[in-house]
Amino acid sequence: MASNVRALGALLHRVSLSSSLAPLSSASALRGIRWLERSPLSLPSSEVARRARRIWATGPVCMGRRSCKIAGRKDAQNLKKMKRNSKIGKEIVAAVKKGGPNPKSNTVLAAVLEKARELDVPKEIVERNIKRASDKGQETYIEKFYEVYGFGGAGMVVEVLTDKITRSVAAVRGVVKDCGAKLADPGSILFKFRRVRVVNVKVADVDKDQLLAIALDAGAEDVIEPTVYDDDDEEDSSESYYKIVTSAENYTDILSKLRDEGVAFEPDNGFELLPLNHIEVDDEAVELNKELMSKLLELDDVDAVYSDQK
Distance CA 14, CA 7 (A): 10
Instruction: Tell me the pLDDT band of 115, cut-offs 50, 70 and 90.
Output: confident
pLDDT, residue 153, reads 95
pLDDT, residue 230, reads 57
pLDDT, residue 234, reads 56
CB atoms within 10 A of CB 50: 12
Question: Which one of 120-129, 184-193, 196-205 scores highest in mean pLDDT?
Answer: 184-193
Paired residues of 158 in beta bridges: 146, 305
Domain presence at residue 189:
no
Domain presence at residue 26:
yes
Domain presence at residue 188:
no
Q: What amino acid is encoded at 18 in this protein?
A: S
pLDDT digits over 193-238, tens only?
Answer: 999 999 999 888 888 999 999 998 889 999 998 876 655 555 555 5
Contacts by 170-178 with C-beta closer than 8 Å and gap 24+? 171/299, 171/301, 172/146, 172/296, 172/299, 172/301, 172/302, 175/292, 175/295, 175/296, 175/299, 176/148, 176/292, 176/296, 178/295
Q: Could you tell me the residue range of the domain that residue 19 belongs to?
A: 2-56
pLDDT, residue 60, reads 34
pLDDT at residue 177 above 80? yes
pLDDT, residue 232, reads 57
pLDDT at residue 16 above 90? no
Kindly state the DSSP code that residue 310 receives in the 8-state scheme: -
Domain presence at residue 33:
yes
Contacts by 44-49 with C-beta closer than 8 Å and gap 24+? 44/4, 45/3, 45/4, 45/6, 45/7, 48/4, 48/7, 48/8, 48/11, 49/7, 49/10, 49/11
pLDDT, residue 84, reads 86
pLDDT at residue 70 above 90? no
Strands 222-224 and 272-275: unpaired
pLDDT, residue 278, reads 92
Selected residue with higher pLDDT from 101 and 56: 101
217 by DSSP, 3-state: which?
helix
Percent of the chain at pLDDT > 90 equals 50
Indicate the burial class of 96 (C-beta count within 10 angstroms; 0-12, 13-18, 19 or more): buried
pLDDT, residue 237, reads 58
Element (H, E) at 68: helix 64-70
pLDDT, residue 75, reads 65
Longest CA–CA span in the chain (Å) reads: 89
Instruction: Tell me the pLDDT band of 78, cut-offs 50, 70 and 90.
Output: confident
pLDDT, residue 81, reads 82
Domain presence at residue 85:
no
pLDDT, residue 80, reads 78
Selected residue with higher pLDDT from 157 and 206: 157
143 phi and psi angles, rounded to 5 deg: -80, 130
Domain presence at residue 252:
no
Instruction: Tell me the pLDDT band of 67, cut-offs 50, 70 and 90.
Output: very low
pLDDT digits over 244-293, tens only?
Answer: 999 888 898 999 999 999 998 888 878 899 999 999 999 999 999 999 99
pLDDT digits over 18-54, tens only?
Answer: 444 344 344 444 444 444 444 444 445 444 444 433 3
Distance CA 243, CA 256 (A): 16
Judge contact between 286 and 309, C-beta under 8 A. yes
CB atoms within 10 A of CB 46: 10
> Residue-wise over 9-42: b if at least 16 C-beta within 10 A, else e?
eebeeebeeeeeeeeeeeebeeebeebbeebeee
pLDDT, residue 271, reads 87
pLDDT, residue 34, reads 43
Indicate the burial class of 177 (C-beta count within 10 angstroms; 0-12, 13-18, 19 or more): exposed
Domain presence at residue 17:
yes
Please state the domain count of the chain.
Answer: 1
- Nearest-5° Cα angle at 219, 215 to 224: 45
Distance CA 303, CA 286 (A): 21
Domain presence at residue 39:
yes
| C-alpha distance from residue 154 to each of 71, 148, 290, 310 (Å) | 21, 9, 11, 9
For the chain, give the mean pLDDT. 78
